[in-house]
Amino acid sequence: MMVELDHVILTRFNLPSIGAESYIRAQEGWLKNRWELFQRYCVPSVRAQVEKNFVWLVFLDPESPRWLVDGMASFERESLLVTSYRTGVDRDELLKDITTALGTRRERLVTTNLDNDDGIASDFVSRIQATVHDGPTRAIYLTNGLIKGGDSIYFRHDRHNAFCTVSAPWNAPRTCWATWHNLLTTEMPADEVGGDPAWLQVIHGTNVSNKIRGRLASSKSYQDSFPGLLEEVSEPTTSQLLKDRLLDRPMRFIRDAGRRSIKRIAMFVLGKDGIDKAKHWLASRLHS
């Protein structure tokens, strides 16, 4: 039976933050760089969605410069997105903005996180909605995606990635921002759905924590799913694929295994709040 749902994609554009990212955001050129990435990857990927039954809600700083406000307004006139200007978003404010953006309520609230410098496959929304069903609150992860670094792409399997979705009954609403994307499974059951790559993560100079992961891949099979987003990607040669398989991927695996071990220890010792404070302290030292 079809479930009547309200699907909202949530994006933090330059929402003020007090954590480690606040120091990155304060750097000269950060905002214009993100605006360029937003227009290059995020906007066209949402515009290309086959399923149009969703609302895209973008959060911005009330003190955003006029050029950014005007740029976002042009997308609003296109009915591509809805903006909300806030200094912060707690649970009640988020639900209020979602309700306002939707105008009506159906049976379930479905929310998906989309970072402002990334993209989604043209069938992302339809695949998410096909997974939604009645019952208690659940997280949904489309586990396969692509990572773009320079002129190369990498196929990545990530069980609990940042393109997370939460499906909840409207009488007990929860969203994909309830906690960190990789901790949602500690608070609710999750559906992990494989298949073709569903998302595109872009590695660039202002990424806070993302790195190249996965295996080097050809873009030929993915061009139709990510229209216009892979034009800069070069086809890897046989020697490049072999080098990636025998040397680069094992080195990335070792690097990531070490990072995962450190994160597990930090989570055990410090907890989520402690890690946030530690990141903030380190960022303040690095950018002071």
Residue 194 in domain: yes
Q: Which helix (H) or strand (E) holds 166?
A: strand 165-169
Residue 279 in domain: no
Partner residues linked to 7 by β-bridges? 110
Residue 147 in domain: yes
Using CA atoms, how far residue 190 sits from 76, 146, 176, 180, in Å, is: 33, 21, 12, 14
The per-residue pLDDT for range 12-37, each reduced to its tens digit, is 999 886 554 544 555 668 899 999 99
User: What pTM does this model have?
Assistant: 0.83
Query: What are the tokens at 195?
Result: 């298949």
Our count of domains for the chain comes to: 1
pLDDT band with cut points at 50, 70 and 90 for residue 246: confident
Regarding predicted confidence, which is higher, 24 or 127?
Answer: 127
CA 152, 32, 198 angle in degrees (round to 5)? 40
**Of 21-35, 98-112, 202-216, 269-283, which has the strongest mean pLDDT?**
98-112
Residue 277 in domain: no
Which of 27-41, 67-81, 101-115 shows the lowest per-residue confidence on average (mean pLDDT)?
27-41
The per-residue pLDDT for range 262-284, each reduced to its tens digit, is 555 544 455 545 544 444 444 34
Q: Order the strands of the 144-149 sheet from edge to edge.
A: 119-120, 199-203, 144-149, 152-157, 215-217
How far is Cα 21 from Cα 282, in angstroms, rounded to an integer? 11
Average pLDDT, integer, range 55-70: 97
Residue 259 in domain: no
How far is Cα 48 from Cα 100, in angstroms, rounded to an integer? 24
- What CATH number does residue 45 fall under? 3.90.550
Residue 123 in domain: yes
In 3-state terms, what secondary structure has residue 99?
A: helix
What is the span of the domain harbouring residue 147? 5-234
pLDDT band with cut points at 50, 70 and 90 for residue 204: confident
Residue 141 in domain: yes
Q: Is residue 208 scored above 60 in pLDDT? A: no
**pLDDT at residue 282, rounded to an integer:** 41
